[in-house]
Structure formats: C-alpha cells, structure tokens
Chains A and B, each alone.
Chain A
Amino acid sequence: MLELVARKEASRFMLWLTPALAVVLTMLSGLALFALLGKDPFEAVRVIFVEPLLDPFSRTELLVKGAPLVLIAIGLSFGFRAGIWNIGAEGQFTIGALTAGAVALAFWNVEGIWLLPLMALAGAAGGAAWAMIPAWLRIRFNANEILVSLMLVYVAELLLSAMVGGPLRDPDGFNFPESRMFHDSATLPIIIEGSRAHVGALAALGAVVIAYVLLHRHLFGFEVRLFGQAPRAARFAGFREARLVAACLGLSGALAGLAGMFEASGPVGQLVPALPSGYGFTAIIVAFLGRLHPVGILLAGAVMALTYIGGETAQMAMNLPAAAINVFQGMLLFFLLGIDVLVNYRIRLRRAL
C-alpha cells in the first residue's frame, strides 16, 4: 500500500523548481503525444515554443495574449494566498468589458482623451462590483465563494449576450448580436507600430510591480499571507476576515474587469458575445504556475501565451489538431499539481496489516 505523508517543510528550492520541471515534463510527454499523432515531435515542440519568438508579429501577439492573463492572475494571487478562492474571474472580466463598452457606446460620437480613463474606471468598477456578490454572500451567509463566483460566470456571459443582442446592439448591423465598432477615442493606443500590442501590456507590468510592493513591503500583504497560513493567528492579531474577503475579491474583480476593458477596447474594438475567451480560467493556471508570486506570474503568463500562439502556428504549419494543443496545456497544470504533491508529501510504503 502506498501512503502520503506530509513533509515537515517543503524545500524552498523545490518549490521554485517545480514549475520548470512541470514545463520540461510537459514537453517530454508532448514529444510522445505528437509522435503518436504521426507528426515529427521535435519539429512540433520547436514550432510551439520557438517559432513564435522568431516572428516579429508573433512576438507582439505574446503581449496581446499575455497581458490579460498576467493582469487577472496577479489579482487572483492575493486571494489564493489568503485562502479566498475566486474562480469567477472570467465573469468579472466579462462584466468589466460590458460596463466599459457601455461607456464607450454611450459616448460613441464624442471625442476626448478622458474617455479611455473613464472606461478603465467603469471596467474596474464593474468587475469589482461583480466580485462583491460572492464576497458579500460569504461574509453575510458564509456561502462558498468558489461556487458563487463560478456560477456568476455564466450569468455574466448571458448578460453580455443579452445586452449585445438588445440595448447595445449595432443599429446598422442586421440584428446580429454585436455592438458597433468603438470610435477611435475609445480604442486603446498601440505601443508597437503595426501590431495589436496595446497599453494593456504596460498596465500588466505595472500591476506586477505594485503587487510585489503590496505583497512584500506592505501590511496588506502580510495580512494576506498570514490569513492563508494561520487564520487563527491572524484573527488573534486583530485582522478582520470580512474586510480581507472583500479586499481580495474586490481587487481580483477590479483587475479582471480592467483586463476585460482592455480586451474590448483593444484587439476586439467592440462588444461581441464571444468576447470572454477563457482568460479568467487560464489565469488560474497562470497564477499557480507562477507560484502566486508576481514575477513568477509574469513568466508563467508568457509561457501560457506562447503555447496558445505556438499552438495556432502548429495547426497551420503541421496540421496538428487543436485538441492536441489543449491536452498539452492541460498536462502543464497536471504535472505542476502532481509534482507539488511530491514536494509537500513523501510516499511511504505501508505494509498491509
């Protein structure tokens, strides 16, 4: 019989080696998977991980794809450290895009540099407000925030499709459920000429820096970490749990909402029902892959973005099925969690009695 025994203290070194190890193991299993599919495995791994880095346009697309992942994951990492599980970032992302988009459409024919900041504010506020629902229900009724935040994703998506099929629908669009294209004043400035990389990438970088300071140099970060590791001690120290729940959910909601605003006013340029494309869920993988550390999240976001764009390239260049890429991404989380178990526990052989 096998038995898992908790280690007294997980090695710090291993804790940081795990994500790298998971990436390596994923690549190795990827080789096997691609070989089974009858494709040249080394070529496939090269196309996924190296090709996007060689092409200038793909490099800028890494910023487009990585920025929302990093932004959302940073927000989630606070709650995850404190043991507050916001699984509904996808919903907060959607509401952020919706509120920001509503502002953009309300001032559709109006020019002004104040419009984008106003939209950003609306997006962050919308996302935060959406996250306050599970926060309030948990504080007031001790409802499980995992379930509530997850269920609200579907509510948010339906709300978005109802809005773009109703009040926010393009009046000249043959009743198709889409909003108008945003005006120039409501479209994000591009930071690299000829690409789609927008100022959201800078905002994500800023969030990394601020999160680092908050987490390691500020009382709030101490509170968060203490709650995660020793909730009783935190209560004795006089920290109020309700405030922390609201702060963590609000912060992650605001950042997810901001990411939604960037997505709507950046690469998409309008509100469409398919706007939420899974960033909120993928960001959970990114947060854990990055060890809930701001710098780690930055790197993990880059790796995830790379697999997405490399996956598309591999489809085009080698006719790899899309499902193979999804399996590949899934394996990453699987190996990460699997190795984590081995880092925190050791396996002991138990004699059958």
Chain B
Amino acid sequence: MSLWKKAAAVMAGAALAVFAIGAAAAEPLKIGFVYVGPTGDFGWTHEHDLARQAVEAHFGDKVETTYVENVAEGPDAERVIRQMAQSGHGLIFTTSFGFMNPTVKVAKQFPDVKFEHATGYQRADNVSTYSARFYEGRHVIGLIAGKMTKTNTIGYIASFPIPEVVRGINAAYLAAKSVNPAVKFRIVWVNTWFDPGKEADAANALIEQGADVIMQHTDSAAPITIAEEKGVLAFGQASDMTRFGPKSHLTAIIDNWSPYYIARTQAVLDGTWTSTDTWDGIAPGMVAFAPYNPALPKEVVALAEYARFGIMLGKIHPFTGPINRQDGTPWLAAGETASDGDLLGMNFYVEGIEGALPK
C-alpha cells in the first residue's frame, strides 16, 4: 500500500469515527438495571422491572433499557456494572444493598455515567442513593396483623439483620401491640432475600409455632402460598401477591419506583442530574398498598386507612415515644419521634420483642 493510500485510509477512518460519535449523540439514552433476583420473583425485583418498563413506556424512543437479573452481591456485581458502564449506558440503577461498593468502585472509573444505588449509604458526584420508608408500610400492616390474629402470635420471616429489616420488625410490632397488647412476634432469620424453599420452610415452622398471621421481609411469594394452604393470613412483599393467596393475602406493601425512575431519567435527559439522597414514603407514593382483601372487616380497613392518611399528612410517625429498647433502656421520650439518623442505624429490638437480634 502506498503512503497516500494509507493516509487516505486513516482519514476515512477518522471521518467514520467522527461520524459515529455524531450519530451516538442523537441515539437514545441507554439505561441499565442490575437486579439481585429474577424479574419473575413477583416481589422486589419484579417491582424494579415494572418501573423499568414504565420508564420505557414514558420516554419511548428517547431511551433504551437493558437489565441483568440474578446478579449475586459478590464479586460478579462489579463486572456486570462495569460492562454496563462500558457499553454506553448513561444511567445505571443498581437495585440491591450489596451492590454498594461495586457501584462506587465502577463509578470512580466512569465519571460521565450516572449511577443510582438503592438502599445504600455511600454517595459520590455521580452516585445517588434512594430508598423507600418501608417502615411506614409496616406500621399499617402491623395494625391489621394485630387486629386479625386470633392466636396473638405473628410470624415474621426476616432476611438479614440490617437496619432496614430491624426497623420493619420494630415498626410492625409497635403497631400491632398498640391495638393488641397481648400480641407476640416470632421471628425467623433466613439469611437470604430470595429463596422460595427456605421461605416456605420458615412459614411452615412459624405456623406450627402457632402463628396465624405471616409477615415477610423476603422477596418470594412462597410464604403466601403456604399461608393459603394452611388457612392462615399473610401480607405480600414489595408487590401485589394476591394471586398466590386470594384468601390469605390481606394486602401488600408495594414499592412503587416508577415516579422516581422517570424523574431521574428526565433529569439525565435535561442535563440537570445531580447526586442526591432520596428516602420517600407513603406521601410521595413510593410506598403504596395492594387492594385490601374483601374479607377484611370494615373497622380494620378503617383503622389501616386512618393510619395511612395520618402518615401521608405527617400526623402519624410510626416511631413515636415513649419507646424503650428491648433491654428496657429508654430510647424515645413520650411524644418524641425517631430521627432519620436513629432509624438508618437501627440495630436493636424495641421492648417486648422476644429473642436476640442475630449479631
């Protein structure tokens, strides 16, 4: 090849490259989602995926979304997040706590990509965090559980002893106790977010121990199915799980991520995205509820609705003193409400819950 031909080839290549970049600018915004479970878990990941679809429906051709499901919260997460950043995604949602350090690590290497990490506490210039005040939902279903239990025993399937889960147990217990002083909680720790087999075993064990209402902080619908078989009551997790237990399913706390995802996508499209820390509850609609089971007594529905509106209007706070810790030491004085800082680091049971928190 002569020198001229070479030069021409290089020029053509350069022109192509320039053209490619020009074309890329007009291309849709690529948005990536990293899921900890399968999209078919009908719980946590399912809701994130519904929100992803809502983003697609809302923005149409302006965005293009991709997702990777079943990503373990271990060494693989960093590779998946990095592959997304590398393959031209402009906005990446990492939707589980265990993706925190990998997200922050990758974000450092891709300063132009925006990252959104769910339920974590580490932020950076291009990393936002977001979570929902699930404990507000737990307060409402705690009231229903306290009213509906006949054995005064509520079974709770818990995942990991992190503040979010402990907060949920405490909120549900305090609410149940407020309407039924004789109520007792039995708690099983399954050390997983999603494992239908383990969750079903836990539900069975709790029912054998006398629980007639099951609450869960794990993502599969298996406990609902078991509750339906055994004729006890249950609440869906993260998503409406009515179809798994038409009789047992009283309501569910629904994580509604769509408004947040749409707002954040809009911000990236407008160029107004900044790193933020969002913790929304019932009022902005991030925490919602599935329809009440028609079999729920009217006065119980009224009680739940009263609490829901109270929280929405800021009149009710699920953690209002006097509240003591499990060991009897005072936590909140009468009338005092818990600070977000206390809630975010919660690592103790409130007074009245039996058993030790796994350390």
A contacts, CB < 8 Å to B: 57-58, 61, 64, 158, 161-162, 165-166, 174-178, 181, 196, 263, 266-270, 272-278, 308-309, 312-313, 315-317, 319, 321-323
**B94 CB to nearest chain A CB (Å):** 14
- Please measure, in the bound complex, the distance between the C-alpha atom of A326 and the C-alpha atom of B320, giving whole angstroms: 48
**A156 CB to nearest chain B CB (Å):** 13
Asked if B244 is an interface residue, CB under 8 A from chain A, the answer is no
The size of the chain B interface, using a CB distance under 8 A, is 36
B346 (CB) vs chain A CBs: closest residue: A175
> With A57-B86, A176-B163, A313-B83 in contact, do A277 and B76 touch (Cβ < 8 Å)?
yes
Q: Are B161 and A177 interface neighbours, CB within 8 A? A: yes
Q: Are B101 and A312 interface neighbours, CB within 8 A? A: no
| Chain B residues near A272 (CB-CB < 8 A) | 73-74, 98
Q: Nearest 3 CB-CB pairs, A to B?
A: A322-B70, A274-B73, A175-B347
**B285 CB to nearest chain A CB (Å):** 26
| Chain B residues near A268 (CB-CB < 8 A) | 74-75
Which of B70, B86, B344, B347 has the most C-beta atoms of chain A within 10 angstroms of its own C-beta? B70
Partner of B345, one of A175, A276, A312, A321: A175
**B339 CB to nearest chain A CB (Å):** 14
Q: Are A176 and B73 interface neighbours, CB within 8 A? A: no
Q: Are A177 and B83 interface neighbours, CB within 8 A? A: no
> With A161-B191, A165-B358 in contact, do A269 and B101 touch (Cβ < 8 Å)?
yes
| Chain A residues near B78 (CB-CB < 8 A) | 196, 267
4 additional contacts, CB 8 Å, given A175-B161, A272-B73? Answer: A175-B347, A266-B75, A276-B74, A321-B69
**A329 CB to nearest chain B CB (Å):** 13
- Please measure, in the bound complex, the distance between the C-alpha atom of A323 and the C-alpha atom of B78, giving whole angstroms: 20
**A153 CB to nearest chain B CB (Å):** 14
| Chain A residues near B344 (CB-CB < 8 A) | 174
- Please measure, in the bound complex, the distance between the C-alpha atom of A161 and the C-alpha atom of B160, giving whole angstroms: 9
| Chain A residues near B272 (CB-CB < 8 A) | none
- Chain B residues 315-352 with CB under 8 Å of chain A are 344-347
- Please measure, in the bound complex, the distance between the C-alpha atom of A321 and the C-alpha atom of B38, giving whole angstroms: 8
**B304 CB to nearest chain A CB (Å):** 30
Which of A58, A64, A165 has the most C-beta atoms of chain B within 10 angstroms of its own C-beta? A165
Asked if B87 is an interface residue, CB under 8 A from chain A, the answer is yes
One digit per residue, 1 when the CB lies within 8 angstroms of any chain A CB and 0 when it does not, for chain B 89-101 equals 0000000011001
**B192 CB to nearest chain A CB (Å):** 9
Q: Are A277 and B72 interface neighbours, CB within 8 A? A: yes
**B322 CB to nearest chain A CB (Å):** 24
Asked if B133 is an interface residue, CB under 8 A from chain A, the answer is no
- Chain B residues 55-104 with CB under 8 Å of chain A are 66-70, 72-76, 78-80, 82-84, 86-87, 97-98, 101
- Please measure, in the bound complex, the distance between the C-alpha atom of A308 and the C-alpha atom of B71, giving whole angstroms: 11
Q: Are A316 and B358 interface neighbours, CB within 8 A? A: no
| Chain B residues near A321 (CB-CB < 8 A) | 38-39, 69
- Please measure, in the bound complex, the distance between the C-alpha atom of A349 and the C-alpha atom of B344, giving whole angstroms: 70
Asked if B306 is an interface residue, CB under 8 A from chain A, the answer is no
> With A165-B358, A270-B101 in contact, do A312 and B79 touch (Cβ < 8 Å)?
yes
Asked if B298 is an interface residue, CB under 8 A from chain A, the answer is no
Q: Are B163 and A174 interface neighbours, CB within 8 A? A: yes
Asked if B121 is an interface residue, CB under 8 A from chain A, the answer is yes
- Please measure, in the bound complex, the distance between the C-alpha atom of A313 and the C-alpha atom of B72, giving whole angstroms: 15
One digit per residue, 1 when the CB lies within 8 angstroms of any chain A CB and 0 when it does not, for chain B 125-153 equals 00000000000000000000000000000
Partner of A162, one of B39, B76, B359: B359
